[in-house]
Structure formats: structure tokens, C-alpha cells
A and B are shown apart, each in its own frame.
Chain A
Amino acid sequence: MPEILKIEDLKVHYGVINAIKGINIRVNAGEIVTLIGANGAGKSSTLNAIMNLVTSKKGKILYEGHDITKSSTADIVKSGIVLVPEGRRIFPNLTVQENLMIGSYGRNDKDGIKRDFDFVLSLFPRIKERLKQPGGTLSGGEQQMLAIGRALMGSPKILLMDEPSLGLAPLLVKMVFEVIKKIKDEGKTILLVEQNATMALANADYAYVLETGKIALEGSGKSLLAHEEVRKSYLGVK
């Protein structure tokens, strides 16, 4: 399969802190690729670097063969890379509907926007019932669905997701992963950051393990699930 996103020797630092110390990641079109790692390993930094939201980075980010390392965040979004940020980051003062609509800010194709809006509502019936209320009044789980829906409104070719299952009850975690599969079935590519390694690896075509800013391991989701070190460190198996 052709690769849609390629990260070459990425380094990120915040002042004197080296958060990412030179990593290489490849994402094939149509696949679910996951990036797992402990707190502070540099998972969010990697996604933020792709979106050009970090102030200082080195290396190269190629998207569909084009160098987007220096593109503006807005242009990156318009080109088809959309991030569901860590902590959801719903706009609490905007209504649920406005939160969805602002996800399509960079688009002008009215018909496409309408289609995606309907798709998102079919994906999240709970959201549909709450279109008029402020985003800040939603429960944590509903906010996560809204954040995913909002990102889908940007018509991503590749969706970056930063710990979408964080803080959710088991049933909702299951639902989030079902949604991820449905998004994949729509032909979209997904780069998923997770601490819930079991679920992430079970659903991923390919996976990377990030340890203090470096890639420690990589392989297919299944092979890492079976990997002894991964089982010890990330899956809680003794």
C-alpha cells in the first residue's frame, strides 16, 4: 500500500527538554497505525509536530510525497490531516452544532460538508440529540464523540487521534474503537496515540512503541501484542 505519511528523523525540543530525539514513522494509506508509550514518552509531541503546533522541531514530515514540515497548521488541516487533540478541547462556549461546523472551517464544498455532517450524526446519535446545547455541558464521553465528529467534519484523509479513550468507562472505550473501525471503513487512514495498549494493538495494522522520545519497538499490531517486553511494560502482564 502507498504510504500517506512519512516522518523522517523528527526531533522536538521545548527549551532544554528534548522530547523527541529523532524518530521515523511510516503510515500506509487506509491503515490504522498506533503509537503507544508511557506518560511523557512524546506521543502528543509527535502529533503536534505533524500539525506544526510545536515551536521547535527538526526533521522532515512528508504527506502524500509533499514536504509539509513548514506548512501552517491551517494549510495542513486543509490538505487532509486532522487532529483530535488530547483532552478533547471542545469549545465550551459554542453549541454542539457550532463545534461540529467549525470543524469544517477550512472547507467550501457545501454539499460535502452536509454529507459529513449527516455521517457524523449517524455515527453519534447521542450528539444529534444535543445539537443546540453548549459544548461545555456535555459529559466527558459525549465530548470525546463530539471531538471525533468535529475532526471528521474537516474531511480528513488521515485522522490523528491523541488518546481518544482517556478517562472513558470501558463500555465507551469499546465504542470509541468501534467508531475508529467505522472511520477506517470509510477509507480513511488513522494514526492513533493510546495508553490503552491492548485495545490499540489489537486494532492496529502497524504499531510503534515510543520510549522517552525514541522508537523502542515497531511491528504489526499482533506481533507487538505477543511481544514479551510489550506485554510486561504496557499490557500489565507479569
Chain B
Amino acid sequence: MGSLLKNRGWVIGALAVAILFPFVLPNAYFLHILTLAFIWMIAVYGLNLLAGYTGYLSLAHAGFFAIGAYALGLLTVKTEINYWLALVLACLITSAIGAVVGLVALRTREHFFAIYTLCVGYIIYLVIDKWDGLTGGVRGLIGIPVPSNIGPLSFETPLSQYYLVLFFLIFTVLVMYRIVHSLTGRTFIAIRNSEDLAQTIGISTMKNKLLVFVLSTFFAGLAGALYASFIRFIGPDIGYITIIFDLLTYLLVGGIGTLAGPIVGTFLIVAVSQSLQFLQDYRMLIFGPLLTLLIIFYPRGIVGAYYDWRMKHTAKKVKRTRKEQRYFESETVDAEKKVKEG
């Protein structure tokens, strides 16, 4: 609760900027980039719940992103069912596959888990790439429709899509906030802290880990589905390994295991790489070392560093008031002594 109040200024500010941005800066290109960034943020939130709050670094999430995208694409293109039904189904299909993968993957820990999920991610990519009959293989899937109208609301224009994606981002953040600030979230954090300890205070770790895994694939799937209907063309490369490393970079820079991290990191990296576009792939020469330094000195990213700074700040304040109190108390004691002596 306290943290919400303390951060309320930030939340309202960010929300106002996001809502007003298209009016202040009516630029189609920026709008496009920002919408995409919002979509990535949703996926990063999914990853954050699992890697940041529960301590299981999954490298399969580009694969789940692609599953969400292809599920929506195939359902809308090949079966022509209602878009919103397809969106729900896409998320559910991704979660169901997530549950199956999780059941096996969560029997491993730490780097074994990372390696295992990396393989799963690559297998998902290969399946999409090679299963021509279903996915269209390297040719990709074209003609994915925009979201269908809800009453008077239509999603034909980029602006309306921007707000739609923003809506889902806000939904994601709200759900994440509520999970993290609940007994369920505390349970996840206890697992991250020490699985042995968590078990001895009565937490069924497997059940909870599976829950987080499925949840995080759900959000990866949601992001993928939104991507498909925003870009309207998808190829196997959206499930490729580089995507998961992008997502991970966003998360690490922003702050793993923090609520604002995914937004801060994604926005920052997207903005910086846009402005360094003239450097093409040489950008990585700058990003690589910067990222390494950041992880060494600020393992909880920019947001984590901000929290630490604020924590120290208030700790100092507490100390100062305590010192003053002690000083005051000793003075009164002295005074009492004098009274007694006198």
C-alpha cells in the first residue's frame, strides 16, 4: 500500500504521458514504435513474474510469444472466428502449452532450467519454421485482420490500435501489481528466496511454480497475439532466440523483480536504439558493455537502483531522528538528575 502511495506521482505521470502522447506529438512513426514497445512490455511483464519474482529464468518465452501470435493469426485467417474469441483462445492455447512445458522444465533449477527452456524455445521456433502446412513456414502468415469492432469502437487506425494495446498494458500492470502485493506474490518471492525454506513453511513449491509459469506464458501469448493483429504479418523469426534476448535486456536494464522495470527498460532501450539506428548492428558494440556494467553495479536495474537509493535516504532520516531523540532523552535524564541532586 505504502509503495503505491509513494509511487502515485509516477503512475499518474506515466499514464498521462501515454494517453496524451499522440496528441502532443502526432507522428505516425513514433506511434508505431510506441505501440510495439507496449506490446514488448506486456511480454516482459510475463517474464518478470517468472524470472524476477520467482527466480526461474525462462529462455523459452520468445517461443510462447510466437505461439500466441501464430494461434491468433491462424485462428483469424484460417477459421475466421470472431477476433476477440481468437484472442482469448490464443492466450489459452499458449498457457496450455506453457503448462505442459512447465511440468517438465520446472523439475530443473537455475542454469539447467535456463538451458532447458532455451532448447524448448528453439524447438518451438523450428516447428513454426518447418511445419509449412500449418504455419506457412518461412513465407509467414499474411492478412491477419485488425481487431473487430466492439459496438461503435473500431480498430482500423493506428491510433485506435495504440489505445487498445495501451489498455492491455494497463490491464497487465494492474494484474501484476495485485499479484505481487498479495499472499500469492509473497509465496512466489519466498520460492525465489529459498526453495528449501519455502517448503518448510508449508508452501507447495511445484504447484506455485507451475502457476507462475503458466501465468507468464499467458502474458507472452497475449503480447504475441496483439503483435500479430498490429503488424498483420508474422514469420517464424518472431520466435527466434534473439527475441528472448531482447526481452531479457529490457528486463535487466529496467530492473528484474521490480514492478516498473519492464516499462522503464523497454522504453529506454527502444528509444535509445531508435536514436542510434544509423549505427545499425554496431549498436550492440555500445549496448553490450553498457549492459555488462549495469548488471555488475546495479543487479536490479534502474528501478532497483532507484529503490535502493530511496531506501538509504529514508534510513538516514530515521537514524537522524533517532539520534535527535536520544539526544533529547539524555538531556531530560540529565535534567532529572540535576533535579534529584538539587
A joins B in a complex: no
Q: B residues touching A (Cβ–Cβ < 8 Å)?
A: none
